[in-house]
Amino acid sequence: MVVWNLNDIYDFSQTGTLLKQVKEKAEKFALYRKKLKNLSPKAFVNLLKEFEEITVLSAKISSYADLWLSENTASSERNAHEAKISEALTDIGNTLLFFSIWFKELPEKKAKIYIKSAGKYAYFLKRIRDFQKHSLDEKSEQLIRLKDLTGNETLTRMYDLFTNKFLYDWEGKKVQQAVITKFFSDANAEKRKKAYQLVMKKYGEEETILSELYKGIVNDWRNENVKVRKYESPIAVRHLGNDIPAKAIDSVLAVIRKNTPLFQEYFRLKAKILNIEMSRYHLYAPYQIKQKEYDYETSKKIVLETYKDFSPEFYAMAKKVFDENHVHARLTENKRSGAFCYSITPQITPYVLLNHVNKPRDVSTMAHELGHAVHSLFAHQQTIFTFHAGLPLAETASVFGEMLLFKKLVAKAEKKEKIALLMQKLDDTYATIMRQAYFILFELQAHQMIAEGATVEDLNRAYRKNLNEQFGGAVAVPEEFQHEWKYIPHIFHSPFYCYAYSFGNLLVLALYNKYAKEGKSFIPKYIKILSYGGSKSPYAILKEVGIDITQESFWQEGFNLIKKDVDELKKLVK
């Protein structure tokens, strides 16, 4: 199988020279600090171009280091190189920090003049200004950075260090958590149950330490952001970071809560199909059929055909990634696990890492990652600051690509394979929409409870109640699942992060539903969404194509598509 060509980023032998260039350009840029007061709009735009040039060069150097390391994560040479590059670019970033602080603190009238003259840089500048009322003076910001090193960052690092050392007794061996969690979706019911019991028991046994870490993280978040920076609520920090109106997320969460009966119906149906008593142990129980094998070339052909059927432009862009040898699919020792798409600059075709083992899911993974690449390629006219889509829209093209592939495979599948595809899709849809939303609902409650002095027992009860609301009477929730919240790293690492998963995946379902209704006339609207990258807010981008993300009626369209899948599954198993 293929490996990628990193020479399209830059000639690795020139790393030292390139680093020297970036450092010199940053030091030259820093000299403007004394000249900022009387900059003309034209001089300001030229300054932005210099800043962009430094950012592009930095992106090339850091991306090469990251991608090279991902080929062999155990290499001491590659790890040392990545650490060296990271340290050097952090220093350069600190040299440039004054610029954003200066622009953030400008009087409104002066800032508007610069933004008006900035053209394609306008949204980048607007986003700097968006944080103005929550920003502190330079000295205070430096102190908070220092505080985070020994405060919040230490707490999350301790969570990782502590939980990564958990060992479990499995079939006569002491094994790490990654080994155990693979059995959550095992074909053997007893193995699923045992795996969950072992993990939940461990987190329950260590709940005193884990809950104190969590309380520290939550209190730090509230103290800095609500008390010092004056955000109106803990979740408002995430809304501003994502440039999403609170009303949009309120609508998403409200629609998801209203549609819990749909997933409850699916889990009852799944229990009937698998002939099991449905409990939380068996949520991801698989439908057993002999799996087809899809080698790399077959998968590539299917994915490219899928994109070609949708749009010649999508096909051309996906093919470009393969043609330029920007895919690494070969299994090699110590290669980074999983898959990703790495977009470096608007001018460089993205790189895709795969670990292809000929499983059906590998085809979906390929379609997903190629979707990310297509998204970036459509946004190539944007700047280095704005071609990456914001978090709520980052999964738009990738999940849409998966949807196109899913529909293609289902249309050609025989009955048993179709049942398996539908069940796998519905399991994934639950995990990426409903489950993530209920993490957010728990966090909203937990942050308030901790501010009022909640105990770990209080948090456990709240979480189990959260699970019972999701599942109703369709899925039994054993007592040990009250500890599940302690097992979710995002809840510790990135408060309220998970709503982006619900937003992004439900958005794609709603968009696909529009495509199903509108046909080919939908495609130009979709391309327009992708072409913006991250150069406008998600609300503004979607509003331009007639979508209002604050309206519950739009989000319900996604659930209408889920209902069609549940209804089709019901017909197949009558």
Q: Looking at the domain assignment, is residue 307 inside a domain?
A: yes
Domain boundary among 101, 135, 169: 135
Q: Which one has a higher pLDDT value, 557 or 153?
A: 557
On whether residue 147 sits in a domain, the answer given is no
Tell me which H or E stretch contains 353.
strand 351-353
Question: Strand 173-176 and strand 167-170: pairing?
Answer: antiparallel
Q: Does the residue 224 lie in any domain? A: no
Q: Name the β-bridge partners of 169.
A: 174
Residue 201 covered by a domain? no
Beta bridge partners of 352: 327, 341
- The tally of CA atoms less than 13 A away on the side-chain side of residue 275 is 1
Q: Which of 26-30, 144-148, 430-434 is predicted with the least confidence, judged by mean pLDDT?
A: 144-148
439 lies in some domain: no
Let me know if residue 561 belongs to a domain.
no
- The amino acid present at 291, given as its one-letter code, is Q
Pick the last residue of a domain from 135, 156, 182.
Answer: 135
Question: How would DSSP label each residue in 296-327?
Answer: HHHHHHHHHHHHHHH-HHHHHHHHHHHHTT-E
Provide the CATH number for the domain around residue 66: 1.20.140.70
Q: What is the pLDDT of residues 546-568, one digit of tens each?
A: 999 999 999 999 999 999 999 99
CATH number at 329 reads 1.10.10
DSSP 8-state class, residue 286: P
Domain edge (last residue) among 82, 111, 135: 135
**Residue 149 in this model has a pLDDT that exceeds 80:** no
Owning domain of residue 401: 296-413
- Predicted pLDDT of residue 80: 94
Number of domains in the chain: 2
Rounded to two decimals, what is the model's pTM? 0.91
Cα distance between residue 157 and residue 170, in whole Å: 27
3-state secondary structure (DSSP) of residue 233: coil
Q: Inform me whether the pLDDT recorded for 1 exceeds 80.
A: no
Strand, helix or coil for residue 176: strand
At residue 444, the pLDDT reads: 98
243 belongs to a structural domain: no
- Position 143 scores a pLDDT of 86
Measured CA to CA, the distance from residue 129 to residue 116 in angstroms comes to: 13
Share of the chain above pLDDT 70, in %: 100
Q: Can you say whether residue 390 is alpha, beta or left, with left for phi > 0 and alpha for psi between -120 and 50 degrees?
A: beta
Domain assignment present for 477: no
Q: How confident is the model at residue 292 (pLDDT cuts 50, 70, 90)?
A: confident
Q: Among 152-156, 491-495, 496-500, 533-537, which stretch is predicted with the lowest mean pLDDT?
A: 152-156
